[in-house]
Amino acid sequence: MKYNLELIKNKRKIFSFSTFLILLSLLGILYSTFNTSYKKPINLGMDFIGGNELRIERVCEEECSNLSPDSVLENLREISTNKNFINNIKLQFQNNNKLISIRTPYLSIEESNNLITNLDNIIGPLNYESKDSRLIGPKLGKRLLTNCVTSLLVSLFAISLYITIRFDKKYALFALLALFHDLLIVFGIFSWLGIILSVEVNSLFAVSLLTIAGYSVNDTVVIFDRIRENLKSNEEGYNETIQLSVNESFRRTTFTSITTLIPLLSIILFGSYSLFWFSLALSLGIIVGSYSSILLAPSLLLKD
């Protein structure tokens, strides 16, 4: 089966589609920066701003009774002496009222223990064997954020350097453009997710961006490799050779994307909760990355 992607014909459509995605991402980032409560391009989670996150299961016979988060908060307010922090609590019931998930600003270990004891009094008994509690200081959060941004920049620089050495400057430039395109779109999608669903990004999100960067370049490099090889035995015109090379690598690129997506989908479906958004970010990155490697990056090489 031969594939026949009409790259030359559809160049404009590809560019407009990418421009549309980029504008949409920028819009999300701008909206997030100016019109949300957190005033950041993306909704930073407690990894970066500090805080307290607690997830614990209730011990119930058969079914857990339905409780409203508001009434629980009301009870907590009565018991607790620190009225101020209760106002900043986010409390949710999940998993048929079985799982309690709480977010608060930063607490000391003692205060956090106190909170759990109070909760046990109100809606107990709680199963301490299934507790997942995280406390992170605001100072450490800031440090993690700078750490993540630095590692992103350093590795982007390293990747750019590598492909500039391996390929000529034009190829390297376009591979990088495709890479930034992919990262920007994933970032934009998570900006929107933050605005609409209050999804927060943590340090694993930074990891997914880095992995996407490596993967996206990988994909593009393979196609450019093929283009370069075919141009050496240049039988058809320049543009036609590029289009042919893309069609020759099409199967390979979609197949590798599918085989990488399959394990990620298994993590999304069966894996632990804490890896859900991480795997989703990676999956999105791989989908956008394949699109840009197959369609966008080679189209940039086309001559008018």
Partner 1 sequence: MKRRQGWLFFIIFLLTLSVYLLINYPLQLGLDLQGGSQLTLQIIKEEGKVTGDELEAVNSVIDRRVNNLGVSESNLQTLGGDQLILELPGEQNPLVASRVLGKTALLEFRTQKKGTSTDLKNLQLQRLSIKELIEKYSIEEKNQNNDNFLKVIQDDLKGIEQELNYSSTSNDFYGKLIEIKKYVDKEITNLFIKTDLSGKDLINAGRRQEQTNSNWEVLLTFSNSGGEKFAEITKSIAGTNQLLAIIIDGESISEASVGNQFTSTGITGGSATISGNFSAENARELEVQLKGGSLPLPIEIVETNTIGALLGSKNILKSLYAAISGLIFVGIFMIFNYRILGFVSVLSLVLYGFFNLALYSLIPVTLTLPGISGLILSIGMAVDANILIFERIREELYDGNTLSRAIDSGFQRANSSIVDGHITTLLSCFVLFLLGTNFVKGFAATLGIGVLISLFTSLNCSKTILRFFTTYQSLRQKNLYLPKNNFSN
Residues in region 162-221 near partner 1 by CB under 8 A: 162-163, 166, 203-204, 206-207, 210-211, 213-215, 217-219, 221
Window 241 to 280, contacts with partner 1 (CB under 8 A): 248, 251-252, 255-256, 258-267, 269-272, 274-275, 278-279
Nearest to 227 by CA among 120, 284, 299: 299
Q: Do the beta carbons of residue 138 and residue 169 sit within 8 Å?
A: no
| Contacting residue, 102, 119, 136, 242, with partner 1 by CB under 8 A | 136
Nearer to partner 1, 282 or 301 (CB): 282
Nearer to partner 1, 192 or 250 (CB): 250
Tokens of 2: 């031969």
Window 58 to 117, contacts with partner 1 (CB under 8 A): 79, 81-82, 84, 109-110, 113
Nearer to partner 1, 42 or 195 (CB): 42
> What whole-number distance in Å separates Cα of residue 299 and Cα of residue 301?
5
Site size toward partner 1 (CB under 8 A) is 74
First vs last Cα of the chain: how many Å apart?
A: 29
| Planar angle of CA 11, 13, 18, nearest 5 degrees | 100
Q: Do the beta carbons of residue 118 and residue 77 sit within 8 Å?
A: no
Tokens of 108: 């000391």
Kindly state the smallest distance separating residue 109's Cβ from partner 1, in Å. 5
Kindly state the smallest distance separating residue 175's Cβ from partner 1, in Å. 10
Could you tell me how far CA 178 lies from the centroid of its own chain? 17
For 303, list phi and psi in degrees, rounded to 5.
Answer: -100, 150
Window 6 to 45, contacts with partner 1 (CB under 8 A): none
Kindly state the smallest distance separating residue 220's Cβ from partner 1, in Å. 9
CB under 8 Å to 276, separation ≥6 — which residues? 268
Q: Tell me if 121 contacts partner 1 by CB under 8 A.
A: yes
Window 137 to 166, contacts with partner 1 (CB under 8 A): 137, 139-140, 144, 147, 150-151, 154-155, 158-159, 162-163, 166
Nearer to partner 1, 25 or 279 (CB): 279
Nearest to 304 by CA among 11, 5, 16: 11
Can you list the alpha helix ranges (DSSP code H) found in the chain? Answer: 11-35, 46-49, 69-79, 83-86, 109-123, 138-166, 169-197, 203-232, 238-270, 276-291, 297-301
Kindly state the smallest distance separating residue 232's Cβ from partner 1, in Å. 13
Kindly state the smallest distance separating residue 164's Cβ from partner 1, in Å. 12
Tokens of 243: 């289009």
Kindly state the smallest distance separating residue 70's Cβ from partner 1, in Å. 20
